[in-house]
Amino acid sequence: MPAMLHPDDFDAWLDGSAGKEILMNAPPELQEWIVNRRMNKAGVGDDDPATAAPAQAEAPPPPPEPPPQGSLF
């Protein structure tokens, strides 16, 4: 499995002096961003640079109401 390390940590990783904590620092390039919903939509307006800008998180929609329970009597 590949390891993503900062170049300053190469020697410590290769000589075994680094612990597991060296793997816990993800590069800033791997930061997760919430993007505009248009980002994954093909068609008109999908080439706007604003689609790749970080967006505000949206709450998921509420679950649908279950249908009323029927009665056998």
SS3 content of the chain, % helix, strand, coil (to 5): 35, 5, 65
Residues linked to residue 54 through DSSP beta bridges, in sequence order: 35
> Per residue in 56-73, pLDDT tens?
777 888 889 988 888 777
The residue among 62 and 4 whose pLDDT is bigger is 62
| Residue indicated by tokens 């190469």 | 10
pTM across the whole model: 0.37
What confidence score (pLDDT) does residue 45 get?
Answer: 67
Where residue 21 falls among pLDDT bands split at 50, 70, 90?
confident
